[in-house]
Chain A
Amino acid sequence: MDPLLFERLAQAVEEAVREAEIVLPPDVETALRRATDRETNPVARGEFANILDNLLKARDLRVPICQDTGIPVVYLTVPPTVPVTAELYDAVAAGIRRATRSVPLRPNGVDPISRENSGDNTGAGLPPVHVVPGNVLRVMVLPKGAGSENMSQIRMMMPSQVSDIPRFVVDVVMTAGARPCPPVVVGVGIGGTFDGAAALAKEALLERIDSMDAYEQEICDAINALGIGPMGLGGDTTALAVKVKRGFCHTASLPVAVNIQCWCCRRGVREVVL
């Protein structure tokens, strides 16, 4: 890989992480403001006031919105002119290491068994990099916090249980309760394989949350009828949005994955000049 391109890609990753950590995407902030305006519970109104105040403070002070700066999940759109080599992955990891120092990020990456921390948010399989073909070289970073990730679930449902999918999603959010920092965004992956459903659920979290189709809206309304509210203290909004992604699956399978995201639904995007 051209060393200058390596440098530009690493820099784009660093900048995408910084943007994601400090400023929420406009559609997420709009969803939070709408939920604030609708909220009738006084404790919940206080929680929303803190959340909106926090967004302003993070932007003004140029500091991360949340101290759990997450695990960086990277989606890379790669044009035909850029070969997918090991260096491409190295450049992404270099960008993550730089962001860890410069933003700064909390070093969250550890060996799963020894729990030893690498100190720079990289390691075996970290960051995960998902490569998709496209026309431009573009990096999208989804920093994923553990509080919400830990509340995610996958179920291998039976093909006869299609109508039970909404209830499964509601069950996952109810079981999570206060723990994933509601109001949450719910990514749902339906179909594919065991691993594919989980990947779809995470990709669903990359989508804008200011619109939902009828299916997504129905599930979202059911979740909000529970009244868990911001931080689980009760209130009208428990989910800001439900986003569903589907993939073809085996005729004998129905994998369904639910990936929960906290209200701090971070995304950062940068395009790399070739």
Chain B
Amino acid sequence: MIRLSTPLGAEVLDLRAGDRVLLSGTIYTARDEAHLKILEDGFPFDPAGAVLYHCGPVVDTERNVIVAAGPTTSARMNGLTAPMIDAGVRSLIGKGGMSAEVREALSGRAVYFVFTGGCAALAASCMELVDCHYPELGMAEAVWEIRVRDMPLVVGIDAHGRDLFEDVARSVRERYDQLRL
């Protein structure tokens, strides 16, 4: 296991698709609406070395705690991601993989991590709520600033153009052609 802490720098360039990582530090949730808001009104935080988490958490707003916070499908953010990387974001966390366009945007600059889909309780257990930005977007779409400790991740797309999802998809197509049904 590789240990990393935020803000992230050039160390992400050493990561390879398939590496397992424990991430500590500050991350920011951002789904579709948050991306659009950031593109319009700017970042409510310093994007240099930042980590975006594709997640719409369940937050107990009375006690100020994250109740459940697994990843959402990253592909919805495909068309909105390149400007984030241009602004200095060093990594994304999500599930399901992203497009070739995102793979190119990451090249030489940033990585895409996968956090196991559905593991909301595990995520919440390593998180501490710090702040909420753009609360008017609602609970699922707001930008939640979260401190994490040892969040277990896998590198899905590295900064050298290797994409685990693309590798698997290629092998799945080969295996499908050999199926006898």
Contact = CB atoms under 8 A, between A and B. Distances in A.
Contacts of A51: 116, 118-119
A105 B68 CA distance: 10
A50 B116 contact: yes
A53 interface: yes
B96 A54 contact: no
Given A69-B58, A174-B176, A222 B181 contact: yes
A117 interface: yes
Interface string B30-69: 0000000000000000000000000111101000000111
Given A178-B165, A228-B168, A231-B114, A54 B175 contact: no
B75 interface: yes
A231 B120 contact: no
Interface stretch (A10-18, A58-66, A195-203): A58-66
Interface in A72-124: 104-107, 117
A55 B169 CA distance: 28
B121 A234 contact: no
B171 A234 contact: yes
A166 interface: yes
Which size bracket describes the interface of A in this complex? 35 or more
A46 to B, nearest CB: 6
A12 B164 CA distance: 44
B176 A66 contact: no
Contacts of A192: none
B79 interface: no
Contacts of A53: 119, 122
A66 B168 contact: no
B interface majority secondary structure: mixed
Interface in B121-153: 121-125, 138-140, 152
A225 interface: yes
B177 to A, nearest CB: 11
A50 B125 CA distance: 12
Interface in A172-231: 174, 177-179, 181, 218, 222, 225-231
Given A232-B96, A233-B156, A106 B117 contact: no
Contacts of B2: none
A57 B96 contact: no
Contacts of B18: 43
Contact of A67 (B60, B68, B138, B171): B68
Nearest to B57: A67
B163 to A, nearest CB: 11
Given A231-B95, A233-B156, A226 B176 contact: yes
Nearest to B71: A67
A54 B120 CA distance: 7
A68 interface: yes
Contacts of B95: 178, 181, 231
B172 A227 contact: yes
B165 A232 contact: yes
B121 to A, nearest CB: 4
A51 B97 CA distance: 18
Nearest to A50: B116
Interface string A143-177: 00101000000000000000000110010001001
B20 interface: yes
A177 B67 CA distance: 28
Contact of B124 (A46, A61, A233): A61
Given A66-B117, A177-B165, A233-B156, 16 more contacts: A46-B152, A57-B124, A58-B120, A58-B121, A63-B124, A67-B55, A67-B69, A68-B70, A68-B72, A69-B58, A106-B56, A177-B169, A179-B96, A222-B179, A233-B154, A234-B167
Interface of B: 18, 20, 55-58, 60, 67-70, 72-73, 75, 95-97, 114-125, 138-140, 152, 154, 156, 164-165, 167-169, 171-172, 175-176, 179, 181
9 contacts: A66-B70, A66-B117, A67-B70, A178-B95, A179-B96, A228-B168, A230-B116, A231-B96, A234-B171
